[in-house]
Structures are given as C-alpha cells and as structure tokens.
C-alpha cells in the first residue's frame, strides 16, 4: 500500500518547489514529478510541509498542587489537527527519581498518543543518584535535561547544582535546557506585592518583570560557558533575555532561544482585565510582556538569533485556575497553544510578510529537529525521512474558539483570533491522522517514541575549541584551528 501526495508545492526550510511525494510504509520513498501510488492525496493549490514539531509541552503533568488537564490523547489529537506531528514533553522526576518517572511518561504516551513524541528530563536537584541516572536517561533516547531557575522550594536548582548538571551534560553529549527566571527575586517580589495587598493576576506579571528573566538568562549562558556546553533557553519572552542570547551567539557560544507563539502575539494588557477569570486563564511564566518585547522576538526569528517557536502547552481548566483566587501565587501557571501554533504563526508571520514560508518551516520543524538531533528523520521532506507531512491549505480560514477546539480545556487564550492557513491533511509516519474535509478521531497508540541520540560531535567540538582557544589572549589569533570547527 503506497500513498502519493499529488499536485502540491513542497515547502522545506531551504527551498520551495512543485513535486509529488511517494510514501511507502512509514517513510518517504520518492519525490518528483508525476508519481503514482495506490492511494492519492490531493494537494492541488496547497503546500506540503514537514509536520510541525512542538518541543515544549506539559501533558498530564503534576504542577502547583494540581495536574495539567490536557491528556496525551487530547493533546496529541489537538496537535495533529493543527499540523503538529511530534511533541517533546517534560518529565518531572518523582520520589523514585528519573527512571520511574520516565517509565510513567512513556507508558501514558504509548497508550494514548496519535503522533510521535519524545521526552526531556528535568533536573530538580543535584546528587550522586542524579549524576548516575542521567547516563541511563540518555541511553533511553533522551538527550536534553531541563533546569528550572524559578519555582523556589519546588523545582528550582541553584547555580552550583546547575553547573554540576551542565558539566555532566557536556560529558554525556546532552543539551541542557533552562527555564530562566531568577527564582529568589520572583519569591521576594511575590511577597512584596502580596504584602502591598496585590492579590489578583496582575501581581503575577508585576512579580516577574523582564529583568528577572534577563538576569537569569545571562547567568545560565555564563554557567554553560564555564561548563563548556551548548544551552537552550526555553520560552524566551523578553528583549532582555533575547539580548543575552544574541550577545553570546555573537561571541561564538552555541546558545538557542525559543519564543512561544503566545509571547509573539499576546501582551500584558490581559492582566489589567477586570475579569479575574480572563486574566487568570492567561497566567503563565514568563508572563505576557508589553509590545516592545514582541517586536524583539519577531526580529530574532527573522535574523536567526532565535531559532524555534514552541507553545509550552501547559493547560489548566478554569476550575483549576480558580485555585488561585485571593492569592496570585497559587494560580497554576500555564497556557495552551499546541493546536493553534502553526496557523497562528502562519497567519501572523507568513501572512503579514514578516517571515517567509521557508523560515516558517525552519522555526516550526527543521531547526527543532536539528537542535534535538533527530534530523533528517524528522523536520525534512527527503527520501528516507519519516512521512510526517502536512498538506497545508493557505486559503482555508477559521476563527479560533474554545467551542471548536480538540483540546479538553474550557477556554482558549486565542479566542476570537481569525487565522488563514490550515491543514487539509496531516500524516503521521504515512497514516492520515487529520482530514479537515471528513473530520477525524484520535488514534491512540499510533504514536511512537522517537529516540534522540546524544551529540558527541557538538559537545566534543565545543570542548576542544574551548580548550585550545580559550586560554589565548583575546587579541591573538589561534595558530591553528581544531579539525571540525
Ligand atoms: N511555565 C508555565 O507557565 N507553566 C509550566 C512551567 C512554566 O515554566
Ligand atoms: Zn518553564
Ligand atoms: Zn508592560
Ligand atoms: Zn514549560
């Protein structure tokens, strides 16, 4: 049984061209003119894109005294309905440490997911056990470790712990990820605003100003430099954080930045709403910023100083948000976006001329696959790549509403946003998992874990460069450059 996608224009990160795609089994068998197969998928008038990869989700995650309401089943179905064919979700270690938690996440995902998936492991302390577990986690196909510089008293790690873990990442060929907000400062500001009688959602935004993020981003980058490891900053939301990333990249450090679709489009005026529910539904960390920060993030996507657009999909119902009535520090932090990321970025980025179609593919798929070391299995339309594909109709429109969404959440922070550009079909490893014309149901159990190997080449090259070049006076050129740099 083969499938041919006919009559479309393939849009890759590097070029756009008219061609058919022949799929055999899970993968792309051929690309070219006039291909034929057992089944034909009509792509006339459409683009064919590599499936979106959302590298930042929190499905069924215990957090702030509750658990995110989006399940692996609803979340991955929401994803494919919006053109996303892979999610990478954050595992939080429990009592038993990293490995039992990874088993728990893997079991839930295997049972429920409609699309492929991967995991990031969180490092929430530092010990002999964690040092040892990290190697076992890498052997399970997880090559990224998340560090929270915020959530003091819960998930937060201190600088010495982060340095220990970053150094371990360098040894293992893993990539550290960082939630960069100064957790001590956030805690102090929260107490200050509560003491001043600020208890509503606006207090959440006041207690996490851009300086809190800029300072922590810069600190994480410097610690990564000291440890000789690349670093990936999640949910980059402010010019202050972007500036730190830009400066480090300019200096030759391998640093990645990930704006969220929410921060690109929504701003902090939402927290001034007199409607408590409306404002609380939009409480996430970092909070939405004022518009000057949005301009900085868009500029970063265009110039390449920011590489990835994610969602941090961390979705709570209104009833869960209401746990924080009377005390903004208890409002569960998180918003959704998994279902709408692709259309929102297309409409507001490609549709306005701010980014090209090829840049769209880069930041929603190809760059992510490369950074996470799964390219070209994912993130590419090439013979041999997984047939994770989206037939994208640039003329189809909808208005985003909670009532119309696949997500199980009872609101949508993008309610009322009109988008033009939607999937006509979404394919996960060669199977149609979303058909806009006929409608589709979840296909739990279809998704598979995508093992992500360690990256010895990147870490070794970087460590070698550090060793040979760093001790030299800055104004003297090195006598020779190491091979591979
Ligand atoms: N921010 C959120 O809003 N939710 C999950 C964790 C985080 O960092
Ligand atoms: Zn975070
Ligand atoms: Zn502001
Ligand atoms: Zn997150």
pLDDT 10s digits, 343-375: 999 999 999 999 999 999 999 999 999 999 999
Estimate to the nearest angstrom the gap between the alpha carbon of 242 and the chain centroid. 16
Ligand 1 center from residue 64 Cα (angstroms): 10
- List the alpha helices (DSSP H) in 304-377: 318-321, 341-345, 357-361, 367-371
pLDDT along the chain (485 residues), means of 10: 97 98 98 97 98 98 97 98 98 96 98 98 96 97 98 96 93 95 98 98 98 98 92 98 96 94 98 98 98 97 98 98 98 98 98 98 98 97 98 98 98 98 98 97 98 72 50 41 35
Strand partners, 88: 118
Both structure tokens of 134? 């990290």
Q: Which of 157, 258, 285 to mutate to test the pocket of ligand 1 (most atoms within 8 A of CB)?
A: 285
User: Phi and psi of 110, rounded to 5°?
Assistant: -60, -35
Write down the pLDDT at residue 206.
Answer: 98
Q: What is the pLDDT of residue 466?
A: 53
pLDDT at 228: 87
Do 116 and 447 contact (CB within 8 A), yes or no?
Answer: yes
Report CA(268)–ligand 3 centroid distance (Å). 6
What is the 282 CA–ligand 3 centroid distance (Å)?
A: 14
Place of tokens 């997500």: 407
Question: Quick one: which of 1, 117, 7, 128 has its CA closest to 60?
Answer: 117
| Alpha carbon of 237 to ligand 4 centroid (Å) | 12
Q: Which two structure tokens, joined as six digits, stand for 57? A: 């989700």
Residues bordering ligand 4, an ion, CB closer than 5 Å = 312
Residue closest by Cα to atom 2 of ligand 1 = 334
Closest-CA residue to 178 (of 122, 112, 136): 122
What ipTM describes this predicted complex?
0.91
Residues with a beta carbon under 5 angstroms from ion ligand 3: 268, 290
Ligand 1 site residues (CB inside 6 A) read 58, 179, 284-285, 312, 314, 333-334
Given the DSSP bridges, would you call strands 66-67 and 62-63 parallel, antiparallel or unpaired?
Answer: antiparallel
Instruction: Give the position, in ligand 1's atom list, of the atom nearest the Cα of 150.
Output: 8
Ligand 4 midpoint to CA 149 (Å): 12
């Amino acid at each position: 049984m083969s499938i041919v996608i006919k009559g479309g224009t393939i849009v890759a990160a590097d070029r756009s061209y008219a061609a058919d795609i022949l799929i055999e089994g899970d993968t792309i068998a051929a690309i070219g003119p006039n291909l034929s197969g057992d089944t034909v998928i009509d792509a006339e008038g459409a683009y064919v894109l590599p499936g979106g990869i959302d590298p930042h989700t929190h499905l069924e995650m215990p957090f702030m005294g509750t658990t995110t309401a989006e399940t692996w089943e609803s979340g991955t179905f929401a994803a494919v309905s919006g053109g996303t064919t892979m999610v990478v979700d954050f595992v939080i270690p429990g009592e038993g440490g990293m490995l039992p938690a990874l088993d728990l996440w893997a079991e839930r995902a295997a049972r429920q997911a409609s699309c492929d998936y991967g995991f990031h492991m969180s490092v929430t302390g530092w010990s002999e056990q964690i040092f040892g577990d990290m190697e076992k986690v890498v052997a399970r196909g997880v090559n990224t470790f998340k560090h929270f510089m915020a959530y003091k008293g819960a998930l937060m790690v201190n600088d010495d712990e982060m340095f220990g873990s970053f150094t371990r990442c360098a040894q293992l060929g893993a990539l550290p990820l960082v939630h960069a907000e100064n957790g001590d400062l956030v805690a102090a500001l929260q107490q200050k605003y509560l003491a001043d009688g600020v208890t509503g959602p606006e207090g959440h935004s006041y207690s996490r100003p851009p300086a809190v993020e800029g300072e922590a981003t810069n600190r994480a980058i410097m610690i990564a430099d000291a440890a000789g490891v690349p670093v990936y900053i999640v949910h980059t939301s402010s010019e202050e954080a972007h500036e730190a990333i830009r400066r480090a990249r300019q200096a030759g450090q391998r640093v990645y930045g990930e704006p969220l679709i929410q921060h690109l489009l929504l701003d902090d005026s939402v927290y001034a709403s007199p409607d408590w529910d409306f404002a609380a539904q939009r409480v996430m960390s970092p909070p939405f910023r004022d518009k000057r920060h949005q301009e900085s993030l868009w500029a970063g996507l265009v110039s390449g100083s920011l590489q990835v657009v994610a969602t941090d999909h961390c979705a709570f119902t209104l009833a869960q948000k209401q746990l924080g009535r009377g005390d903004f520090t208890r409002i569960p932090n998180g918003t959704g976006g998994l279902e709408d990321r692709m259309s929102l970025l297309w409409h507001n980025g490609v549709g306005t001329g701010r980014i090209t179609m090829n840049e769209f593919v880069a930041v929603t798929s190809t760059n992510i696959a490369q950074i996470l070391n799964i390219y070209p299995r994912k993130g590419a339309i090439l013979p041999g790549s997984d047939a994770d594909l989206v037939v994208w109709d640039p003329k189809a429109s909808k208005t985003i509403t909670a009532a119309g969404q696949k997500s199980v959440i009872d609101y949508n922070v993008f309610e009322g946003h009109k988008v033009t550009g939607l999937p006509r079909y979404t394919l996960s490893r060669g199977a149609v998992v979303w058909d806009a014309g006929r409608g589709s149901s979840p296909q739990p159990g279809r998704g598979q874990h995508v093992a992500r190997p360690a990256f010895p080449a990147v870490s070794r090259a970087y460590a070698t460069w550090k060793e040979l070049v760093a001790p030299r006076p800055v104004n003297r050129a090195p006598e020779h450059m190491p091979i591979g740099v």
